[in-house]
Amino acid sequence: MVLGDESAAQTARRFDSREHPTEAQRPLLRVYYTQATAVEAPAVPTGIRLLPAYPNPFREATTIVYEVGEPGHVTLEVFDVLGRRVARLVDGPRAPGRHRAMFVAPDRAGGLYVYRLQIGDAVALGRVARIR
């Protein structure tokens, strides 16, 4: 049982106890708190952003992470060093937020690959290396 006026804004309360007949001997619960000054809104990306692919370099597959700031049609493609498209990982609408796409390339040659993220007129490029 907590003793005291519950309507008072106190930071300490003493518990009633048969083992401790005097108030000074009773266990004390002290509460520390701070008042919130603002509520943080979750971070929503603006525009587009490519995060580092992982693992990089990779053997069989790598994960490409990207952020979208507003809903829209997203295209994520992978090209070899000669500029030939070797994979289209994403081609469709996406909601704002963080997304992932996996580039699986067990039969592809080792070397450098460029991936291209496009949403409307915004374009971002990244690189990954495949090792054998």
Identify the pLDDT of residue 102.
97
Looking at the structure of the chain, the number of domains it has is 2
Identify the pLDDT of residue 96.
94
**CB-CB contact of 101 with 92 (8 Å):** no
Identify the pLDDT of residue 38.
65
> Residue 24, SS3?
helix
Identify the pLDDT of residue 81.
92
- The segments of the chain whose pLDDT lies below 70 read 1-20, 25, 28-29, 31-34, 36-46
Residues 74 and 113 in one domain: yes
Which domain CATH number covers 83? 2.60.40.3080
Residues 95 and 56 in one domain: yes
The b/e string for 95-119 (b: 16+ C-beta within 10 A; e otherwise) is: eeeebebebebeebeeeebebebbb
Identify the pLDDT of residue 17.
65
**CB-CB contact of 115 with 129 (8 Å):** no
The answer to the question of residue 40 being in a domain is no
Whole-structure pTM value: 0.64
Identify the pLDDT of residue 106.
84
